[in-house]
Amino acid sequence: MKIPDHIVDEVRQRSLTSNPRMATFAHQERHPNLDEITIMPTQLNGPRARDFHTEVIATDLVIGEGRCSKPLSLDFPIMFGGMSIWDLTQNARMALIKASSGLFIPFNAGAGGLRVPERNAIKEMDAPIIHQWTPARLGMDADALRESSAVEIQLGRGMVTSLGSPIYKGSMDLELTEHLGLPPAVDGYRPPRHLDIESPKDLKKVITLIREITSYDIPIIVKIGTANVYGDIRYCVKAGADAVVLDTSEAGGYKYPQAIGNGIGLTSLAAITPAVQAFTDTNAKGDNVKLIISGGVITGVDAFKLLALGADGVAIGRGLCLALNSDEVEDGIPQGVFYGTDDKTLDVDFSAQNVINYVRSMATELAHVTAMTGNSSLETVTKDCLRAVTYNAAAVTGLKLAGYERNLLMWEH
C-alpha cells in the first residue's frame, strides 16, 4: 500500500528541519462536523412555514443587554473573529474595517490592537470595534479599551488553544514592532496563558479591571478554546462574562503547527452540547449571557445549525479571509490577505464590498432557513428541527438520528 503524500511530506520536513509542517486555516475535515446534521423544514405536521419575503424574520442579537449601559446590538448574529495584527496585511484589515462599518458588525482587532491608520479609519467611519485582551497584551492600553464597543478577553483560541509562541526578530517590520511596544532586534514572546489568570476568581478580577476602565459601559466577552468545555464555560459565566466565544478546533489558524492543530480540541458540533449544558446549569440565558460559536461556519445554513443547537451567535474568520480575495486563491490561500504577502493588488473598497456581500448572503440564508422551519424569530428555534445523519453526530449532540427518529439510548436519561 502506498504511503499517502502528506505523511511523506510531514516526515521529510521534520527530518530536514526538526520542525513540523506549518499550515494556514484549520483542518476542515475533522469529525463530527456540521455536515453530519441536517435541517428539517416544516410542512403539514408542524408549525406553518413562514414567508421570508413578506414576513419579518427576527435575527437580531444583543450582547450585554441589562448588564452594561451600552450593549452591542447586531442585526444578525454573525460576528467577525479576531485576527491578529501580524496575521493580516494592512489592506486586508482596512477592508475588514470598512466592511464592518457597512454591516455594523464590530471589527475584531485581534492581538496587537490597531495601527494609527486603522484607528483613524474606525473613528472616521464611526465603526464598531472589539479589542482583544490577550496573554501578551501587545498593542494594549487604556485608550484601546475605552474606544471599544466590546472587549474580548482571549483565554484560548481555535485549534492552537494554549499554545505559546515566540515572536522572532525580523518577522515583523519595524513599524509594527514599534507599534507593539517591542524593542527592535530582540525576540518577543506570546505566553500560552495570561500570567495573572490562574483561577475563575482571577478572571473575575480581570473583568472588573476592564469594567472599571470602561466605566461599565460595554460588554466583556471571554473567548476560550475547546478544553474542558463544560467546566471552562461555567467558570466564564460565573466570572461575569457578558458573552462567551467558544473557538473550536475548526477555527483560526495562521502558520500553525499542523499536527498539533489537527490533533487537539473539539469541532463545533462536538463542543456545543457541553457548552449549552453549562449555560443551562448556570442560568446564563436567563442572565442574558450569550454563547457565540466560532469554527466551521461558512454559510447561513452552518450558522443556523449552531443556533438551533443552542448558540446565540457565530463568529467567522476563514470565510472573511477568502471573501477578501476569492479571485486569487493559491493552494487554498487567498493572496495578499496574510501578513508578509504583497497586498498591493488587494483593493480595499472592492474587498470590503466582497465581504459585505458574503456576510449579507449568510444573513439572508439564515433568515430563509429560519422561515422554512416555521419560525419568525431565531429565538424560538430549537434543536427539534435538526436531525443527525451519522451515528457519531447523534451521539455527541443528542439529536434524533435521521431514519431512527429518536435519540440514541445513551441520551434517554
Partner 1 sequence: MEEKVSKTPDINRAIALQMKQSKKIKISGLKSHDAIAVGIDAEIELTVEGEAGDYFGALNSGAIVKLNGNGGRFVGDSMTGGGIIVTGFIGGGAGDYMKGGIIVVKGNVKGACGRMMAGGVIIVDGNVGDNVGLNMCGGDIIVIGDAAGAIGNYMTGGRIYIGGEHASLGLNTTITDLDMQDVNLLDTYFNHYGISSHSTIFKKIVPTSATPFSDELENVDDSHKGDRL
Nearer to partner 1, 217 or 347 (CB): 217
Strand pairing of 165-167 and 188-190?
Answer: antiparallel
Helix (H) or strand (E) holding 271: helix 268-281
> What CA–CA distance (Å, rounded) separates 271 from 297?
14
Q: Is residue 192 close enough to count as binding partner 1 by CB under 8 A?
A: no
Helix (H) or strand (E) holding 360: helix 348-372
> What is the DSSP-derived secondary structure letter of residue 159?
G
Q: Per-residue contact track with partner 1, 107 to 146, x per CB under 8 A?
A: -----------------------------xx--xxxx-xx
Nearer to partner 1, 254 or 279 (CB): 254
Q: Per-residue contact track with partner 1, 9 to 48, x per CB under 8 A?
A: ----x--xxxx--x--------------------------
313 class by beta-carbon count within 10 Å (0-12 exposed, 13-18 middle, 19+ buried): buried
Residues 329-348 that bind partner 1 (CB under 8 A): 339-340
Do the Cβ atoms of 145 and 209 come closer than 8 Å?
Answer: no
Three cell numbers at 56? 419579518
Residues 274-303 that bind partner 1 (CB under 8 A): none
Backbone angles phi, psi at 229, to 5 degrees: -55, -50
Nearer to partner 1, 206 or 394 (CB): 206
Residues 369-408 that bind partner 1 (CB under 8 A): none
Give whole-number Cα distances, 43 to 139, 196, 365, 378, 385, in Å. Answer: 53, 54, 19, 18, 12
Q: Is residue 260 close enough to count as binding partner 1 by CB under 8 A?
A: no
Residue 148 CB, nearest distance to partner 1 (Å)? 12
Nearer to partner 1, 19 or 54 (CB): 19
Give whole-number Cα distances, 150 to 70, 144, 185, 356, in Å. Answer: 9, 11, 34, 21
Q: Which stretch, 96-104, 118-126, 182-190, 222-230, contacts partner 1 (CB under 8 A)? A: 182-190
Q: Which residues bind partner 1 (CB under 8 A)?
A: 13, 16-19, 22, 86, 136-137, 140-143, 145-146, 165-171, 181-183, 185-189, 191, 195-196, 205, 208-209, 212-213, 216, 254-255, 339-340
